[in-house]
Amino acid sequence: MRADLKGRLIIQNGSDMHVHLRDEAILAAVASLTARQFGQALVMPNLTPPIVTAEHAIAYRERIRAVLPPALASFIPRMTIYLTDDTSPDDVRRAFRKDNVTGERAAEAVKLYPAHATTNSAHGVTDIKKTYRTLATMEEIGMPLCLHGETPFHSLQRVPQMDRERVFIEITLLPLLQKFPKLKVVLEHVSTKEGANLVLCDKSGRLGASVTPQHLLYSFTDMCEGGFRPHLICMPILKDEVHRDAIREAVSSGSKYFWAGTDSAPHVAGKKHSHCCPFGVFSASLAVEAYLEAFDQMEALGDNCLENFLSFNGPAFFGLPPSPGEIILERKAWAVEEPIRVTGAGDIWPFLYEPDPEKRQKLSWQIVVE
């Protein structure tokens, strides 16, 4: 990272190592927003039906590329496949094999959703022991396992929202790390001090974590203060300040095992404002600026801490090159002024958008479009 003569920050183009692009009309509306912010992104497979094979992943990648304008054709969608009780070792081996012509893999990672833990997770894993043969193959070939690290039920009892990541670490993640000592594992959207400290203290080099903008910037109190804010509700749910501060401390430590993963998840406003609000924060259109806001608050813009987090740590863990090119950011107060229109479905409210201009939170940095 460097500053130019105008005081603007110049950094290596970033990588979003956890994003939801959905499909069809929503995909067409949101894919270019991620591509304008990042040079590559790891795309989640929880569609309906889910992306469970190499062939599914390749077809989905082509649908993503088809909706991007020519100016964003260099954007690289990195695919994942959805782990089920029935995923076979041959499926993941085939997905991770590089194509002889393009050099691309069908998928860079496998995603584990505990059944019924989050959006479109009905096909998720019911008992992790059922996946052991597949995980052993992934360990052998070096294919990372991405975890939605929450346990919704334990011993037939519902686990409270605030405890689901902590319980998952205790009853699933720690035994998993012991069972497969060479398996590369990502604790996605880490939200607790227990998760942050586990990754920070791990010395194996095969455990990392993605971090969202909302888990760096906000707490549970922020989500509820002054009235419920549905566009801040996500899985894992925002925790108390002690957890947010632990994540901030871990990220600003300079550890190479934390990286940007927005978990940007679009839902149309009509559903977000309903009595049964779906989980997911849609940050695709301002993710880099939101991360910069958090690092500015942490006084962690120096020593390449921000650039490593945005641009280098995630790709390196997955064995990928960083996104080519650079982005420029200038210090400028601005706010999100418009929702995202989805043809035939309604509007998606971006992270920090409010229809009342007086209530819109301003950001301090903005990407320069040249």
Global pTM? 0.96
Q: What is the DSSP letter of 161?
A: G
Q: Report all structural domains of the chain as residue ranges with CATH numbers, in order of start.
A: 2-367 (3.20.20.140)
CB 64 within 8 A of CB 40: no
Helix (H/G/I), strand (E/B), else coil: 260: strand
C-alpha–C-alpha distance, residues 355 and 144, integer Å: 41
Task: At 353, list the tokens.
Answer: 């958008």
Give the pLDDT confidence score for residue 230 in this predicted structure: 87
Phi then psi for 69, rounded to 5 degrees? Answer: -70, 160
Residue 120 is predicted with a pLDDT of: 74
pLDDT at 274 (0 to 100): 86
pLDDT of residue 303: 82
Give the DSSP H or E segment for 209: strand 207-211
- Annotated catalytic residue, options 23, 99, 163, 263: 263
Instruction: Report pLDDT for 275.
Output: 81
Sheet of 326-334: strand order equals 2-3, 9-12, 326-334, 363-367
Distances (CA, A) of 76 to 49, 156, 167, 266: 23, 42, 35, 20
CA-to-CA distance for 77 and 81, rounded, in angstroms?
A: 13
pLDDT in tens, the chain (370 residues): 888 878 899 999 999 999 999 999 999 999 999 999 999 999 999 999 999 999 999 999 999 999 999 999 999 999 999 999 999 999 999 999 999 999 999 999 999 999 877 877 778 899 999 999 999 999 999 999 999 999 999 887 999 999 999 999 999 999 999 999 999 999 999 999 999 999 999 999 999 999 999 999 999 999 988 778 889 999 999 999 999 999 999 999 999 999 999 999 999 999 998 888 899 999 999 999 999 999 999 999 888 999 999 999 999 999 999 999 999 999 999 999 999 999 998 999 999 999 999 989 999 999 998 7
Q: How many CB atoms lie within 10 A of CB 91?
A: 23
Structure-token pair, residue 323: 């996104």
Nearest CA among 37, 43, 14, 202 for reference residue 108 = 43
Tokens of 297: 């608050």
Q: Is 222 a catalytic residue?
A: no
Tokens of 218: 């906000």
